[in-house]
Structure 1
Amino acid sequence: MIKTTKYVLLAALALTIASCNQSGKSEGGETGSDKKFVVGATMLSMQNEFIVNVSDEMEARAKALGVELITVDAERSALKQVEQVESFIAQGVDAIIMNPCEVEASSPAVKLATDAKIPIINVNSETSAKPTAFVGSDDTESARIAMKYLTEKLGGKGNVLIMHGFMGQAAQIKRDNGAKEILKANPGMKLLAEQTGEWDRAKAMSLMENWIQSYGSKINAVFAHNDEMGMGAVKALEAAGLKDKVIVVSVDAIPDALQSVKKGALNATIFQHAQQQGSKAIEIAVKAAKKEQFEREVLIPFQLVTKENVGEYLK
């Protein structure tokens, strides 16, 4: 009788230990509730100050949430970006955040993630393929705000130059659409020339120098798709002694641009909230990975920043 009781107790103990091992620990030794989520992020270019600001906020929010974030630089290459997403899938990450290089060429990455049943969140820019969620701003609206500002400053009549971002990227396409929409509604506003500066300050400066040689005093205004290009345009105009005669507006409200607006060099910038975009992207990625409810689209409004209100945006 005593021997039988002993065997029963040993069997019960073995079952208890097995049960604890199965329910209390994951394969990696973590408790199920304490699983550390891993998010992979591929960013358009870490040479772009605004994108770096988004990335920094993603890192800060991931740390606050106890999430491991692996960030890689696509270096403006959609092909490289697709390969990076493939690598994340092979690593078995819980979610992917993509800051797309191009609307079409980055789209295969969305399908790869979707097929692998890994949530993919597009941040700041879009793809034609629909991701799990999108966090960003309405780029068409940023251009409307910019062109309305120029139209008002010029009294509805003047010659405008447009510096495009990287051709084929969603922001470039939508900002072009928004600008053309306002130009069409204001016949007195003439498009003198348009060309890409590829989001780059040095390239924009060189482009502006060429335009100054070609058009000189005919130039009344410049709309640059981002602040990096806007700052390049300002530098070229200052060197040519034309800045006081040409109005320049750009998008993003990076620190350099805000200081330039404060000094009166750059006339205006359109504030785009890098911090909100970065933090929201991480939050949604984690919720999607946990299969919790999340917002499928988050659009953060743009705001016009001029010398009159720039103090509100300076840190």
Structure 2
Amino acid sequence: MKSLKLLFFAGLISLTACGPAEDDGKLVIGVTMLSMQNEFIVNVADEMQKKADEMGVKLITVDAERSALKQMEQVESFIAQGVDAIILNPCEVEASSPAVSRAIAAGIPIVNVNSETTAKPTAFVGSNDVESARIAMNYLAEKMNGKGNLVMIHGFMGQAAQIQREEGAKEILKAHPDMKLLAEQTGEWDRSKSMDLMQNWIQSYGDQIDAVFAHNDEMGMGAVKALQNAGMKDQVLVVSIDAIQDALQAVKKGELDATVFQNAREQGVAAVNTAVKLAQGQKTEEKILIPFQLVIKGNVDNFLK
């Protein structure tokens, strides 16, 4: 007996006895996203949908709600439906790896987008998160003249971007021994949690804090708000990653000192293009990397919509 979730999906895409791959003659791609509460992830999903519509491909997009277990169940459902390909935006490096392995074992090509897993997918589309942190931290090192104290707000622990952005940040810190890391903790990619975390650090360290590196803009904006509330923003640098619209506006206003642009459009488009090629039995590059770019007040207008 099929699960309710499988029945829901079956109804959603109007499966025939031939299976979804032959429904309306369209390719069907199952997509599971880390969290549709995260603006950047939503942007990637939107770009995937636009590209799929343009190509006449049917996407079934579901939200893993940050749960690797739920993501595994979603991939198993896609396998049961016989989709032509799967796009996975992994919740975690390790815990989402079994989902990749199951798809490969079932003979269904799987493309990881934006984030990596230990298990090797058919292809990966994203950006080098180590490099994003290098860009952010090099900017801080320049503005701080290579000395001072900073705090680091991590993303969701165990997720590839968190691991790699920490790696890149600590690489730059090692190269600048007079830059000291006062504290580091996860803000779970969340604005309000990061605001609370920053408030706690302000109480603990006060004017010892010279800079904040947040692993994404949601958390960077939370830190900015806490610093503004404490009347400290003018003396503390804040840099984050993704270049979501809120962050770009904050850079333009001088509230956020810099962000690092991650190209949601190119990631989404390349993920769908790659999945379609693989579903059609074509060869593709195993890794497609899209570069990051530093955004400051002087060039922010190039990135604003």
TM-score w.r.t. structure 1 length?
0.90
User: Where do residues 103-252 of structure 1 align in structure 2 (5 Å cutoff)?
Assistant: 103-252=93-242
Equivalence for 1:269:
259
User: Where do residues 72-87 of structure 1 align in structure 2 (5 Å cutoff)?
Assistant: 72-87=62-77
Q: Alpha carbon RMSD of aligned pairs, Å?
A: 1.8
1:67 to 37, 52, 57: 57
**Aligned-partner Cα distance in 2 for 1:201–1:65:** 35
- Identity among equivalent positions (%) equals 72
How far the C-alpha of 1:29 sits from its partner, in A, is 11
1:259 to 246, 249, 253: 249
Q: Tell me the alpha carbon deviations over residues 95-133 of structure 1, each in whole angstroms, 9 at most, x when there is no partner.
A: 000000000000000110000000000000000000000
Equivalence for 1:46:
36
Question: Is there any run of 5+ residues in structure 2 with no aligned partner, and where?
Answer: 1-15
**Aligned-partner Cα distance in 2 for 1:120–1:172:** 22
Q: Tell me the alpha carbon deviations over residues 107-166 of structure 1, each in whole angstroms, 9 at most, x when there is no partner.
A: 000110000000000000000000000000000000000110000000110101000000
- Structure showing greater radius of gyration is 1
Q: Which amino acid aligns with 1:234?
A: V
Question: Is there any run of 5+ residues in structure 1 with no aligned partner, and where?
Answer: 1-25
How far the C-alpha of 1:292 sits from its partner, in A, is 1.1
**Aligned-partner Cα distance in 2 for 1:313–1:171:** 22
How far the C-alpha of 1:28 sits from its partner, in A, is 5.0
Equivalence for 2:286:
296
Structure 2 SS opposite 1:155: coil
The alignment status of 1:99 with 2:89, answered yes or no, reads: yes
Structure 1 SS opposite 2:149: strand
Q: Tell me the alpha carbon deviations over residues 169-201 of structure 1, each in whole angstroms, 9 at most, x when there is no partner.
A: 000000000000000010010000000000000
Q: Which amino acid aligns with 2:203?
A: Q
- Aligned pair count? 290
Structure 2 SS opposite 1:308: coil
How far the C-alpha of 1:296 sits from its partner, in A, is 1.2
TM-score w.r.t. structure 2 length?
0.93
**Aligned-partner Cα distance in 2 for 1:28–1:176:** 47
Q: Which amino acid aligns with 1:52?
A: V
